[in-house]
Structure 1
Amino acid sequence: MTEQIAQETTAQGIGVIEQWILAKHENRTDIAPDEDLIENRLVDSLSFVEFVFLIAETSGQEIDMDNLDLADVRTLAAIEKRFLPH
């Protein structure tokens, strides 16, 4: 995968995840890459499993919920670093 294609794929993946979160919070128009999604209640306990499933679906990676490190899904930047192509 060329560098440009990898960057476009990553941007699209983060865009899908960000849009999913924003759809649940109509008062928001954007999310900072380092904003804590859990602490700021952008992802709550009721939507967490769906959120992780979306990350898995978007990244094409299987995510083991039993071994998931919350730090990997707390921010868009962390999600990008851990789950999306570089």
Structure 2
Amino acid sequence: MARPIDQVKAWILKRHPERDDIASDLDLIDNRLIDSLAFAEFLFLLEEVGGQSIDRDNLVVDDFRTLDRIEAKYLGATVG
């Protein structure tokens, strides 16, 4: 079974076939890999693979900037 962050990366790569990979520290927002149109779907994905609901009233954009931050905040891993 794929790690949760690998599922998140696969979701992003599926929407950006011009990319082969995403560095864990690449800014996903500045590089337009996550945009406002797909953000709601992205939150549902994080809830599904992370096994917990996300409080939409208290979202912080910086928590979604990199795969490292997403993994630490929503998938229970620590940033090393």
Q: TM-score range by the shorter chain?
A: 0.7 to 0.9
Q: Aligned residue for 1:51?
A: 42
**TM-score of the pair, normalised by structure 1:** 0.82
Matching residue within 68, 72, 75 for 2:66:
75
Is residue 56 of structure 2 the alignment partner of residue 65 of structure 1? yes
Matching residue within 30, 36, 55 for 2:27:
36
RMSD (Å) for aligned C-alpha atoms: 1.5
Extract unaligned runs of 5+ from structure 1. Answer: 1-8
Q: Distance in 1 between matches of 2:58 and 2:23?
A: 26
Which one scores higher on RCO, CA 8 angstroms, separation ≥ 6? 1
Deviation per CA, 1:66-85: give whole Å up to 9, x if none: 11111111110001111123
Paired residues, number: 77
| Higher alpha-carbon Rg | 1
Q: Which runs of 4+ in 1 moved over 4 A?
A: none
Q: Secondary structure at the match of 2:3?
A: helix
